[in-house]
């Protein structure tokens, strides 16, 4: 992400506590071994409830995309791993202008990392020939779904509607392609199910999405399973 201003106005600092985190602090915090372990787990979820323009989420994405690349032996596998990494990152931000920047910064980072990865995987071929347009379209869908405008405290967006999030449940591979099912929940339902059990150490992960038995009833929308590279099609799915 390009260097951004840390403060937009003193008014916003006063009313929203809006001070963005400098890059070196973000890096220092993400270098903690407990965080690195989660970054190395491609599907381990991260939620930033006051995401700003994405200081943390963009850097986590950059690091997870590196992991995705090192786990991949083909362009197709890299596309899937890159999308798994992206699908694990969630953000909530109150201010509409920040959400716009957040979405743009996540898109930019995904594209930058994806193209760099393709170069490294197959440097002799032109990257434009290797690019899977479906990966790029699905990346946009994932970012649009996972970066929510809203108030993390009231769990409502600016229309007064519940903040919604999608779980991208991995179903395994078929013919070399990762399959996924999109399941939609209200943020409120996610919080209610995630509260138990309470972690015993500050570093223990509480999974964003509860185990299947507890959460089944709280699913608001269930989409038809599809290939991960085709999740962009779930945007237009009429249920
Ligand atoms: C201290 S800034 C941190 C932003 C980002 N996490 C970073 O480190 O650069 C806090 C952010 O939270 C947002 N915010 C404040 N209250 C919020 C709320 N109730 N729900 C969601 N976002 C909120 C502000 O607009 C601001 O962008």
Let me know: does 143 contact 86? Beta carbons within 8 Å. yes
Would residue 231 count as lying in a domain? yes
pLDDT at 91 over 60: yes
Q: In 122-173, which ranges are continuous DSSP H helix?
A: 127-130, 133-146
Would residue 74 count as lying in a domain? yes
Q: Whose CA is nearest to atom 15 of ligand 1?
A: 16
Would residue 57 count as lying in a domain? yes
Point out the ligand 1 atom lying closest to the alpha carbon of residue 12: 25
For 163-191, how does the pLDDT look when each residue is reduced to its tens digit (9 = 90+)?
999 999 999 999 999 999 999 999 999 99
Per the structure, the count of domains in the chain is 1
Q: Whose CA is nearest to atom 6 of ligand 1?
A: 51
Average pLDDT over residues 20-46: 96
Would residue 5 count as lying in a domain? no
Contacts 24+ apart (CB under 8 A), 107-112: 107/139, 107/140, 107/143, 108/1, 109/1, 109/58, 109/61, 109/62, 109/65, 110/61, 110/65, 110/82, 110/86, 110/139, 110/143, 111/136, 111/139
Q: Whose CA is nearest to atom 9 of ligand 1?
A: 20
For 40-89, how does the pLDDT look when each residue is reduced to its tens digit (9 = 90+)?
999 999 999 999 999 999 999 999 999 999 999 999 999 999 999 999 99
Would residue 155 count as lying in a domain? yes
What integer pLDDT is reported at residue 75 of this predicted model?
A: 92
Residue 108's pLDDT band (cuts 50, 70, 90)? very high
Window from 105-114, 141-150, 193-202 with minimum mean pLDDT? 193-202
- The residue range of the domain holding 83 is 10-236
What integer pLDDT is reported at residue 46 of this predicted model?
A: 97
pLDDT at 14 over 80: yes
- For ligand 1, the distance from its centroid to the CA atom of residue 93, given in whole angstroms, is 6
The pick from 9, 94, 152, 153 for probing ligand 1's pocket by mutation, whose C-beta has the most ligand atoms within 8 angstroms, reads 94
- For ligand 1, the distance from its centroid to the CA atom of residue 51, given in whole angstroms, is 6
Residue 211's pLDDT band (cuts 50, 70, 90)? low
Higher pLDDT, residue 128 or 223: 223
- For ligand 1, the distance from its centroid to the CA atom of residue 122, given in whole angstroms, is 40
- For ligand 1, the distance from its centroid to the CA atom of residue 103, given in whole angstroms, is 15
Would residue 2 count as lying in a domain? no
Window from 139-143, 177-181, 196-200 with minimum mean pLDDT? 196-200
Would residue 124 count as lying in a domain? yes
Q: Whose CA is nearest to atom 13 of ligand 1?
A: 50
Residue 16's pLDDT band (cuts 50, 70, 90)? confident
Would residue 1 count as lying in a domain? no
Pocket of ligand 1 (CB under 6 A): 16-21, 48, 50-52, 55-56, 92-95, 98, 151-153
pLDDT at 227 over 60: yes
Q: Whose CA is nearest to atom 10 of ligand 1?
A: 18
Higher pLDDT, residue 188 or 130: 188
**CB within 8 Å of 237: residues ≥ 6 apart:** 223, 224
Higher pLDDT, residue 122 or 36: 36
What integer pLDDT is reported at residue 123 of this predicted model?
A: 64
What's the whole-number average pLDDT of the chain?
90
- For ligand 1, the distance from its centroid to the CA atom of residue 130, given in whole angstroms, is 38
Residue 1's pLDDT band (cuts 50, 70, 90)? very low
**CB within 8 Å of 48: residues ≥ 6 apart:** 54, 56, 57, 90, 91, 92
- For ligand 1, the distance from its centroid to the CA atom of residue 54, given in whole angstroms, is 10
Higher pLDDT, residue 16 or 157: 157
Average pLDDT over residues 121-128: 73
What is the number of residues in the chain?
Answer: 239
């Amino acid at each position: 992400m390009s260097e951004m201003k840390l403060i937009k106005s003193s008014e916003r600092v006063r009313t929203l506590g809006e001070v963005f985190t400098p890059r070196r602090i973000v890096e220092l915090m993400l270098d903690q071994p407990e965080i690195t372990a989660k970054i190395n787990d491609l599907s381990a979820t991260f939620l930033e409830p006051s995401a700003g323009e994405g200081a943390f989420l963009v850097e986590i994405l950059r690091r997870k995309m590196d992991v995705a690349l090192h786990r991949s032996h083909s362009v197709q596998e890299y596309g899937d791993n890159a999308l798994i990494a992206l699908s694990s990152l969630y953000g909530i931000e109150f201010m509409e202008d920040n959400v716009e920047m957040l979405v743009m910064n996540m898109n930019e980072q995904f594209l930058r990392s994806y193209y760099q990865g393709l170069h490294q995987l197959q440097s002799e071929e032109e990257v434009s020939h290797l690019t899977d347009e479906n990966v790029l379209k699905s990346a946009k869908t994932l970012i649009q779904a996972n970066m929510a405008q809203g108030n993390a405290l009231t769990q409502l967006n600016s229309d007064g509607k519940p903040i919604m999030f999608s779980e991208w449940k991995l179903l395994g591979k078929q013919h070399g392609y990762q399959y996924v099912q999109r399941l939609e929940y209200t943020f409120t339902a996610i919080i209610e199910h995630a509260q138990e059990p309470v972690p015993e150490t500050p570093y223990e992960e509480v999974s964003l999405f509860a185990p299947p038995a507890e959460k089944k009833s709280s699913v608001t929308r269930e989409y038809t399973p599809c290939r991960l590279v085709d999740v962009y099609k779930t945007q237009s799915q009429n249920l």
